[in-house]
Amino acid sequence: MNITTKMITRSALILALAIAIQSVRMPQAVTGPLINTLLFIAVATTGTLSGVLVGLFTPVIAFALGIMALAPAVPVIIAGNIVLALVFGYIKNTYLGFVAAAVAKFAVMAVGVYYVLPLLVSINLPPKVVATLTTPQLFTALGGGVIALVVLKALKMLNKNKELQSDN
């Protein structure tokens, strides 16, 4: 993988947008799909590494800024985000890729909160947090996939339009 200035710049812009979205402190039903949209767009436009990096830094920064208060949830969210980026990057920009990545994220996060944290590090998250980090994650990731699909199609149309204009 060749890391270019363009890749770093795009990744930084996507991360900045994600931080701005998180900073508004909207409900999870709004913020979740938007952050997942950005993860999908990072992978689709810049590469899997970009999605992984954005997925790594968004929960860390959210915790550092006090947007998310529960430290033990951070690694679970990081793992879910990274798996989403890796699965989507592997399957590519297909409907199957969006769905598989969303399901994989949900599965990793559910295993994290139900088994990994309690069994390996003896942390039991409050039931409300467990509920937030499981089933809603599937729906926010699927919602993010739908939004990303629309945005990516629009970007593709804009690029075609730009190419047609430059040919004239």
Task: Name the 3-class secondary structure at 15.
Answer: helix
Q: In angstroms, what is the C-alpha Rg of the chain?
A: 16
Q: What are the structural domains of the chain?
A: 5-162 (1.10.1760)
- Phi/psi for 57 (5° steps) reads -80, -25
pTM: 0.91
Helix (H, G, I), strand (E, B) or coil at 53: helix
Place of tokens 């200035």: 5
What band does 164 get if pLDDT is binned at 50, 70 and 90? low
Report, in this order, helix, strand and coil percent for the chain, each rounded to 5: 85, 0, 15
Confidence at 146, pLDDT banded by 50, 70, 90: very high
- Residue 28 CB coordination number (10 Å): 14
The CA-CA-CA angle for residues 35, 36, 39, to 5°, reads 90
Q: What is the pLDDT of residues 49-69, one digit of tens each?
A: 999 999 999 999 999 988 888
- Can you tell me the distance from the alpha carbon of 142 to that of 99, in angstroms, rounded to the nearest whole number? 6
67-83 pLDDT, tens digit each = 888 888 899 999 999 99
pLDDT tens sequence across 32-49: 999 999 999 999 999 999
pLDDT value of position 167: 62
- Class of residue 147 by CB neighbours under 10 A (exposed 0-12, middle 13-18, buried 19+): middle
